[in-house]
Structure 1
Amino acid sequence: MKRILAIFSLFTLLLGTMQVYAEEQVSEKNYDYTNQKFMATVEMLYMEGHSNDDLSNCNVKQLYYEEVAEMFFTKGMSKKEILNYYEKEQGVQALNAPPVKGFNLSLWLTPFLLIALVLIILYFLIKKWKANQTVTVYEEGVISSELEDVYESIIDEERKKFI
Structure 2
Amino acid sequence: MKYITSLILLVFLLLGVINVSASTETKKEFDYSNPEFRATVDMLSMEGHGNDDLSSCSVKQLYYQEVAEMFEKGMSKQEILDYYVENLGVEALQAPPKKGFNLTLWVLPFLLILAVMILIYFLIKKWKKNTPPLLFETAQNGEGIDDDLYQSLIDEERRKFL
Q: TM-score under structure 1 normalisation?
A: 0.72
CA, structure 1 residues 55+3, in 2 after alignment: closer, same or farther (shift >3 Å)? Answer: same
Letter in 2 for 1:70: E
Rg comparison, structure with higher value: 2
Q: How much is the aligned-residue C-alpha RMSD, in angstroms?
A: 2.9
For residues 33-73 of structure 1, the C-alpha deviation after alignment (integer angstroms, 9 at most, x for no partner) is: 2233322221221111111211111111111111112223x
- CA distance 1:53–1:143, shift in 2 (3 Å): farther
**Equivalent position of 2:44 in the other structure:** 45
CA drift of 1:84 comes to 0.9
**Match of residue 90 from structure 1:** 88
Q: Give unmatched runs, 5+ long, in structure 1.
A: 154-163
Equivalences for 1:25-40 in 2 at 5 Å? 25=27, 27=28, 30-40=29-39
CA distance in 1 between counterparts of 2:8 and 2:81 reads 59
Dislocated runs of 4+, deviation >4 Å: 138-144
- Alignment map for 1:1-163 (pairs within 5 Å): 1-20=6-25, 23=26, 25=27, 27=28, 30-72=29-71, 74-133=72-131, 134=133, 136-137=136-137, 139=140, 142=150, 145=153, 149=157
Aligned length: 144
Go from structure 1 to structure 2 and tell me whether the alpha carbon gap of 1:95 and 1:143 turns closer, same or farther (over 3 Å shift): farther
1:143 Cα shift? 7.0
Rounded to whole Å, the distance in 1 between the matches of 2:62 and 2:50 is 12
Which one-letter code corresponds to 1:106 in the other structure? Answer: T
The one-letter code matched in structure 2 to 1:32 is: D
Unaligned runs of 5+ in 2: 1-5, 142-146
| Equivalent-residue separation in structure 2 for 1:83 and 1:19 (angstroms) | 35
